[in-house]
Amino acid sequence: MHTERIREIFRAVEDTDPLIPAPATRESLAACQKALAERGYPILPPGAIEFFQLANGFSWNGFEFFGSNATTTESGRYTLKDIVHMNDVWHDNREGRDHLLLLGRFDDDIYVYDKDEDSFHVLDGLTLFPIDEYSEYDELFICSVNEYACEDEYEEDLDDEDWEEDAEEILDDEDWPEEDV
């Protein structure tokens, strides 16, 4: 597990009011696994359990990765729902998806674990079409959140003139198909 990279992301967002719950207890993980199994959902894969041992969920800037317990902010204005509750809601509206475990969401994307493929997916939340696939939970988390959390480190700064030059270059490209007039 990429523990240090996850901690770097936590540090990068700490001044922007994230909800990073304390690590899950052994008891809360056992209760979560039992509840998932009793409902016929896939149980937490090992990578998710390892993540929950760092933080029992994560919520920041629209990202939600559900934990084994619901967690409410100190102000009481927001509650990150638990993974069992969110799967109850999600599976109630999705027949034939018993092999998927809803892990989180961002905007119109959802994050799932596919027990049949033993892989993690980013799906379009409306169509359920696959967007990305990962072999590990931490890869899903890092690749999803990193570009937003650490954008100063990785994003190229372009000023207005650069954008205008790029736009002109694209418009002047001779490879455009000819229009029928």
So where are the chain's domains? 3-156
Q: For residue 161, what are the CA distances in angstroms to 107, 164, 174, 175?
A: 31, 5, 22, 24
Mean pLDDT calculated for residue range 48-64: 95
How many Å from the N-terminal Cα to the C-terminal Cα in the chain?
Answer: 58
pTM of the model: 0.80
Q: Would you state the structure tokens that stand for residue 156, as one six-digit string?
A: 């190229």
155: pLDDT strictly greater than 50: no
Mean pLDDT calculated for residue range 57-64: 95
Residue 26's nearest CA partner among 53, 1, 3, 58 is 53
**Would you place residue 157 in the very low, low, confident or very high pLDDT band (cuts 50, 70, 90)?**
very low
Percent of the chain with pLDDT over 90: 67
Which residue did the predictor score with more confidence, 74 or 64? 64
- Phi/psi for 36 (5° steps) reads -65, -45
| pLDDT value of residue 54 | 95
| pLDDT value of residue 98 | 87
| pLDDT value of residue 89 | 93
| pLDDT value of residue 146 | 84
| pLDDT value of residue 166 | 53
At 11-37, the pLDDT tens digits run 999 998 899 999 999 999 999 999 999
d(CA 146, CA 12) in angstroms, rounded, equals: 9
Q: What mean pLDDT is reported for the chain?
A: 85
H-state helical runs in the chain: 3-13, 26-38, 46-52, 83-92, 137-149, 151-154, 160-172
**Would you place residue 169 in the very low, low, confident or very high pLDDT band (cuts 50, 70, 90)?**
low
d(CA 67, CA 86) in angstroms, rounded, equals: 10
Residue 20's nearest CA partner among 31, 9, 35, 29 is 9
| Architecture of the CATH domain 3-156 | 3-Layer(aba) Sandwich (3.40)
| pLDDT value of residue 138 | 93
Residue 135's nearest CA partner among 147, 143, 126, 124 is 143
Specify which residues 140 forms β-bridges with: none
